[in-house]
Amino acid sequence: PKENHPSPMLSLDKTKEVAQLQSFLGDQTGLLSWKLDGLTIVLTYENGVLAKAVTRGNGITGEVVTQNARQFENIPAQISFKGHLVLRGEAVISYQDFEKINEENPDADAKYKNPRNLCAGSVRQLNSQVTAGRHVQFIAFALVEATENGSEENKDAGELTAVDFHNSREDQFEWLAKQGFDVVPYRKVTATTLPEEVLWFSDHIETNELPSDGLVLLMDDIAYGESLGRTAKFPRNAMAFKWKDETAETT
């Protein structure tokens, strides 16, 4: 079934220039992470249990894939937080599992072209047992909402209290990790340290086991990032960095 997202899931503005990333960050602190190349999924937990999983789809409407998400290798079936939690992440298949699945496929014409295509097909299977055999992983990259019943007065009034993350995206990542989620690997950066950290990711992309097609720079200061608003296409609290195209000579 299809379902509309509570708020549109916009794509990120992109650059291939480190200087533009530095200009975007200004005097703020940011989190630089892999831009994973899979299928974006939104998870909702209620009372500590996975209640719903929806694909990004076209950003406005996605597909409900809850039964399949329960088959992902690393999604916690239960978490200690008993409130209402919404988070976003990337469903991915590692290169190792991708190659193994392709090796087991005897039909040369039916082999998958890349891990992303295999992952998209695996997540959208009508038979969740097929998904279970594909070794799909979920890597969290954004906490959207975390609310719970607070004081006794709040409970009586039916009000929900938002979890305090001290205005820090890094705090959100650390909190999600404590709940049992695998969070996208990241490095904390300033405009000064950005070039060397981009270089670190560049040096490690060859050995990175999860498919990535670039990096994401996210403002750590939640309030400041949200105050920047959004354009019709992009949120302004984050920017994607794409590697420059590889060139080679052929004969």
Kindly report, residue by residue over 24-52, the tens digit of the pLDDT.
999 999 999 999 999 999 999 999 999 99
User: Of all helices (H) and strands (E), which one includes residue 15?
Assistant: strand 14-15
Query: Using CA atoms, how far apart are residues 196 and 173, in angstroms rounded to an integer?
Result: 22
Query: Using CA atoms, how far apart are residues 202 and 186, in angstroms rounded to an integer?
Result: 13
Global pTM value:
0.92
In terms of pLDDT, which residue wins out, 126 or 53?
A: 53
pLDDT grade, residue 156 (50/70/90)?
A: low
* pLDDT at residue 109 tops 80: no
| Mean pLDDT, all residues of the chain | 93
The closest of 67, 74, 60, 64 to 9, measured between CA atoms, is: 60
- Please name the residue that has the structure tokens 């992902």: 72
* Contact (CB, 8 A) for 112 and 101: yes
17 burial (CB, 10 Å; 0-12 / 13-18 / 19+) is exposed
Spot the catalytic one: 35, 52, 100, 242.
35
Is 35 a residue of the active site? yes
- Please name the residue that has the structure tokens 């609310």: 147
* pLDDT at residue 155 tops 70: no
Residue 165 has a pLDDT of 97
Query: Using CA atoms, how far apart are residues 204 and 139, in angstroms rounded to an integer?
Result: 18
* pLDDT at residue 151 tops 70: no
